[in-house]
Structure 1
Amino acid sequence: MYSIVVITEYAAVFVLLLVSWLAGAKASKLLFSKSVKQMRRGARGLLIWLGAVMLSAGAVIGLSAYMAVTYDPLFWLDRVLLHSQLTAVPLLLLFIVSLPKLIRLCIAVKGGGEEPAGPELLVQAAQPGLIVPFHMSALGALTTFYFALVPPIPFEMLPIAIPVAMFVLLSALLWWLHARRLHKAGRQGASFWTRYWAVRVLRNLAVLAVCALVAWPLGQMALSSSHLPDEMDMMAGEPDYGRGAIPSGGAHAGHAGHGGVQTAFSPSSAAIPVTALSGPRFGEPDRRYTLTAEKKEVRLASGKTVQAWTYNGQIPGPELRMKEGELVEVTLKNENIDGGVTIHWHGLDVPNAEDGVAGATQNAVMPGETYTYRFVAEQVGTFWYHSHQNSKEAVEKGLFGALVVEPRQPSTAGEKDITVITHVWEGAGFAIGASDTLQRMAIAPGTPVRLRLINTDNWVRQTYVLTGTEFRVAAIDGTDLNEPGSLRDTELALTTGGRYDVTFTMPDGPVYLSIGNPKKKLGIFMSSNGEGELPTLPATVPFEPESYGRPAQTPFDADSKFDREFTMILDNKLGFYNGEFQSLYTINGEVFPNTPMFVVREGDLVKTVIVNRGSVDHPMHLHGHHMLVLSRNGEPVTGSPWWSDTLDVSPGETYEVAFRADNPGIWMDHCHNLQHAAVGMTMHLAYEGVTTPFAIGNATHNHPE
């Protein structure tokens, strides 16, 4: 609903701009009517245009009022204080100034014929009070449209004052110009018409020339300043210590900003480099894997081919399975990926040095190089891995795979464990792994089944419908739910980067997992012999994790005393980024590297309020930690404790989440719609006293997004 309201408001502002501009042009032309009859027609027509302006303005104000009574102030503060006021002031002037003057003019020209308008009528038609409020309405709509496309988040005076001041100054200038025109019309009478047209054309051309001369250098300055430095610190953003915290050594203590890569926030204690925050360096690993990154043409089940980037020559990469508590060693080799590669363990809270983010925890592994990761698999659940060097392109082309940590002792004997990793391949479309056709499986009745759903796509929120049996969502993002209840005819919507574990017992009849658009008949069909007709999908209701399962004890909750509290406002705006004009996705009004950096101390209990003011989903992924979801849209979570590492925040939604800062390091926190991260929706969680020797930029080859 929020997206509909926002889009409708944009449309209403655009319509207001259009009708106000046209009405203003028609009001200005009244003076140049060649006869009283023509002036009468113009004045009556202007009454209709005035009604259209008032209706459009009323729609803008009404939508802002609706948001004010429906949503949190973070969603509507700028709309009520800016959009509504910039619309209401001209509307008020139109009603109390323009409308009476227009009515008097209509009365004055009533019954007139083809005779030229006399000086008295010309003076009435040239009144600034009749004409300028229409122009002010257009200027107000234009300023409102600017604020809609470039929201003033955070709500501060300077970015607001300049556009508002321009609106006021231009309105005053227009009033002065029309007052001069009124004076000339009264003095020169009918001869003013022929003299003024030439002056008006020349003046408009001069105004356009001045605007172009001003806009060109300003645009070039904005373009130039948007280029990212050749080398910069991943922690370049302004430190945000959160409410309730006092930074060690004072604000900005030890912060190197754009100038250097050795960044520490606690000068009173010895700085710790991320390289020291590693997994066990010694000891024989329980599991040893080698992943070789290479380009390869891969054929899907349908016969379509994909020009892929692969781990070990396959898409997805090999599934890595391990037991809880095992020491794992993974050696990454880069065969021929020119831009470099890494491996990030998505959802697995490994030590910071093993996190695999180019420019933050390591350098990218370039062609011919190797890199070794070592960590203990402490969490049981469903995870995945992918390159975090040029991650948008790398994940899109196939540098990812599933990772499963099994409990030390099997929880369900004889369980059929199926990993369902979904992706959209460039030029080939949707597939389950490398299979872009319907899969059929033979599963004996009575067999316990676990489906590990993993959505690896860069953009698409994937939907799943399981029909033919009751089922349970046993885990979200690798964490088991408490006493999950039976579900049927329920649609599971899984955000990019997210995971669901779905369990059921195979019945005598067939079971069908439909994925995505049901008309394409993509998914997994299961029966005793793998044969049978696809069932008709039922009407479904959405899965709501906040009320699913039963409550259980958690180490903290919404009533806990938090050491740090942060607010993360997600939005979008138009602007330049690294030399290109495009739609940008912002955190607290900024794009990386100017996004804030949340700073914590080890042991802090941290709460974050996440607000999506934008028009698209943002699956926010915090590295190295799992967040406990406390509330959604102001309503507390009433079901099982819901832990997430990739939280899908839809337009108009507000989440409260909390975590314990128990994994020191420098951690990315970014949108896992990787297109959004690539144009700035990236920030960091930094522990005081932790530094990084790495940097990003063209001079370093490190490009994490």
Structure 2
Amino acid sequence: MAPSLPTRSTTDRRTFLRSGTAALAGLAVGGPLLAGCRDADRAAAALPARRPVADGPAREVRLVAGPVEVELAPGRVWRTWGYNGQYPGPEIRVREGERLRVTVENDLPGVGTTVHWHGVPVPNPMDGVPGLTQEPIPPGGRTVYEFEATPSGSYMYHSHQGLQLDRGLLGPLVVEETTPHVEYDREHVLVLDDVLMDAPRPLSELVEDGDGGMGMMGRGGMMGRMRGRDRGQGGGRERGGGMMDGMTGGVVPPYAGLAVNGRLPEAPAEFEVRRGERVRLRLINPGGATTYRVAMGGHRMTVTHTDGRPVEPVTVDRLTIGMGERYDVVVEADNPGVWPLVAATVEGDSAPARAVLRYAGAAGSSLRDGLPEGLQGGRALRYGDLQSVETLPAEGAPDRTFDLRLSGGMMMAPDVWTMGGEAYPDAAPLEVREGERVRVDMSNMSMMLHPMHLHGHFFRTGNVLKDTVQVAPHMGRASFEFVADNPGRWFFHCHNLYHLHAGMAREVRYV
């Protein structure tokens, strides 16, 4: 059943950090049915868009990056940056296999920018990583990104220049299935984001001004609990809490609030449903530094996709979504009323983001108070619950293995984050050859969760395909394997924006 929603050059480390800081300077102002899921031609090796750009007319989209003024709630106006005069940026919606041509114009004040198509295995020159796949689009300039929109799924687009993502340069990208994997009557896209009212600042400045560099004890430790308050407009703050109900620790920016589709919880976005409908929710987290636990009042959620890839349906009361991750869920609209969807930080240190699910005809009903029961008990989604409905690559010995320790946030250097003991862009590339089976093993030596994202590829982790995977803090481990079948120079990094900016990234280079 169709959805009812309408289409709405390598740098050195000093240059890398300088370009990011320069980019900040101008900001100081102001139970579903699945079908056709096991076909052999859906094998993982065939998933990424390796084919030439499709023939025929392209879907033309224009994005203009520039200053915007948006109302997040009555009396709360954010003067920031966005696309096409709005935040989040406009939804881009195309059909699987359609050719997409996006012209990006840079109207930002005095800084370059790029656009990255997060999760879509685009040709390498289209990936939007400054200093790796392209030079930044200069002020007043434009560039064209063109690629085949495949495979289907929930994705996002965002700037990959400096810390620009945390000023609102982001938006949802939906590639609709040619043959839907899930039946539903209505669809809504929910973009979860952390709102930073002032210019984003590197960790080095947050630590210096906020005295927040106690990463040795960090989130979840004694110091994290003692110092879990907002440190004001200038400094960062520490958190306590965890991933998949675990624990984390470290310094984060002084966010003013958490938003769903650009609305703060005091004036939440509302979504209408009708009793008896199957409602598909596309949950997208492009945020700078926040991992959420998501639950819905009065309803359970059936997970059908992760990072755009279809999975066997699994019904849960809550799920955890890290920066860069996406989950599609189906909600059975069988409990009329007005219900909250709540996205709480895993640390529990901020007022949760909220949206409202309102049944048609419930105009006079009041919103149910309190946190959904799913945040206080019930079944939590685990990665081990996820089973791909696509044919996965056969397991076998890898041709190449990388063993990477994720480290940083220590007391003597709280603003340095590394992978394998090296910080980008000075880190040596991870070299692979086309056709190889590559394995990456990661161990987290830090107090903070790290959502690790690989550009240009889907990888197998456990029994599922993803492009972003959370690595739990305090000696947590995660592994994935991928087939090196998309030649180029690809970014691999932590999707905590501030860890990335502080060096937690590597290049995967085909040789």
TM-score (norm 1): 0.53
Displacement of 1:441 after TM fit? 3.1
Residues 322-352 of structure 1: per-residue CA shift (max 9 Å, x gap): 0001011000011134221111000111110
Equivalence for 1:561:
397
Decide whether the 8 Å contact of 1:442 with 1:529 is kept in 2.
Answer: no
Aligned match of 2:492 in 646, 663, 669?
669
Equivalence for 1:461:
291
Displacement of 1:515 after TM fit? 1.9
Letter of the 2:368 counterpart:
L
Secondary structure of 2:120's aligned partner: coil
Letter of the 2:278 counterpart:
P
Change (3 A) 1:421 1:504: same
Displacement of 1:535 after TM fit? 5.2
Q: Output the CA distance in 2 between the equivalents of 1:400 and 1:368.
A: 19
Secondary structure of 1:603's aligned partner: coil
Aligned match of 1:442 in 272, 275, 282?
272
Decide which structure has greater helix share.
1
Change (3 A) 1:591 1:349: same
Letter of the 2:439 counterpart:
K
Matched, 1:684 2:507: yes
Equivalence for 2:95:
323
Letter of the 2:421 counterpart:
G
Matched, 1:543 2:375: no
Equivalence for 1:156:
none
Matched, 1:433 2:267: no
Equivalent residue pairs, number: 399
Decide which structure has greater strand share.
2
RMSD, aligned α-carbons:
2.7
Aligned match of 1:656 in 471, 479, 482?
479
Matched, 1:402 2:172: yes
Equivalence for 1:368:
140
Q: Could you tell me which runs of 5 or more consecutive residues in structure 1 were left unpaired when the two chains were aligned.
A: 1-226, 235-276, 631-640, 689-705
Letter of the 1:454 counterpart:
I
Letter of the 2:471 counterpart:
V
Matched, 1:617 2:445: no
Residues 279-305 of structure 1: per-residue CA shift (max 9 Å, x gap): 857954331100011112222233311
Aligned match of 1:486 in 284, 308, 315?
315
Q: Output the CA distance in 2 between the equivalents of 1:417 and 1:334.
A: 32
Letter of the 2:126 counterpart:
E
Decide whether the 8 Å contact of 1:666 with 1:685 is kept in 2.
Answer: yes
Q: Output the CA distance in 2 between the equivalents of 1:563 and 1:311.
A: 42
Q: Could you tell me which runs of 5 or more consecutive residues in structure 2 were left unpaired when the two chains were aligned.
A: 1-11, 20-48, 198-255
Letter of the 1:430 counterpart:
L
Change (3 A) 1:364 1:520: closer
Letter of the 2:78 counterpart:
V
Displacement of 1:395 after TM fit? 0.7
Aligned match of 1:477 in 307, 313, 316?
307
Matched, 1:642 2:469: no
Change (3 A) 1:646 1:613: same
Q: Output the CA distance in 1 between the equivalents of 2:53 and 2:128.
A: 16
Secondary structure of 2:500's aligned partner: helix
Q: Output the CA distance in 2 between the equivalents of 1:521 and 1:402.
A: 18
Displacement of 1:491 after TM fit? 2.2
Q: Output the CA distance in 2 between the equivalents of 1:389 and 1:284.
A: 32
Residues 659-678 of structure 1: per-residue CA shift (max 9 Å, x gap): 11111110000111010111
Letter of the 2:188 counterpart:
I
Residues 370-427 of structure 1: per-residue CA shift (max 9 Å, x gap): 100110011111000001112x2x1111111000000124555662111110112113
Letter of the 2:165 counterpart:
V
Aligned match of 1:299 in 60, 71, 92?
71
TM-score (norm 2): 0.73
Equivalence for 1:417:
187
Letter of the 1:433 counterpart:
N
Q: Output the CA distance in 2 between the equivalents of 1:499 and 1:575.
A: 33
Q: Output the CA distance in 1 between the equivalents of 2:261 and 2:141.
A: 27
Higher relative contact order (CA 8 A, sep 6+): 2
Q: Output the CA distance in 2 between the equivalents of 1:685 and 1:627.
A: 14
Q: Output the CA distance in 2 between the equivalents of 1:460 and 1:231.
A: 24
Q: Output the CA distance in 1 between the equivalents of 2:50 and 2:383.
A: 35
Letter of the 1:486 counterpart:
T
Change (3 A) 1:350 1:628: same
Matched, 1:338 2:168: no
Equivalence for 1:94:
none
Decide whether the 8 Å contact of 2:65 with 2:84 is kept in 1.
Answer: yes
Residues 524-579 of structure 1: per-residue CA shift (max 9 Å, x gap): 2332335433155213246333332557674435x412111111110115599xxx
Decide whether the 8 Å contact of 2:309 with 2:388 is kept in 1.
Answer: no
Change (3 A) 1:413 1:520: closer
Q: Output the CA distance in 1 between the equivalents of 2:69 and 2:159.
A: 19
Change (3 A) 1:231 1:522: closer
Q: Output the CA distance in 2 between the equivalents of 1:228 and 1:666.
A: 18
Identity %: 32
Answer with 1 or 2: which has the greater Rg.
Answer: 1
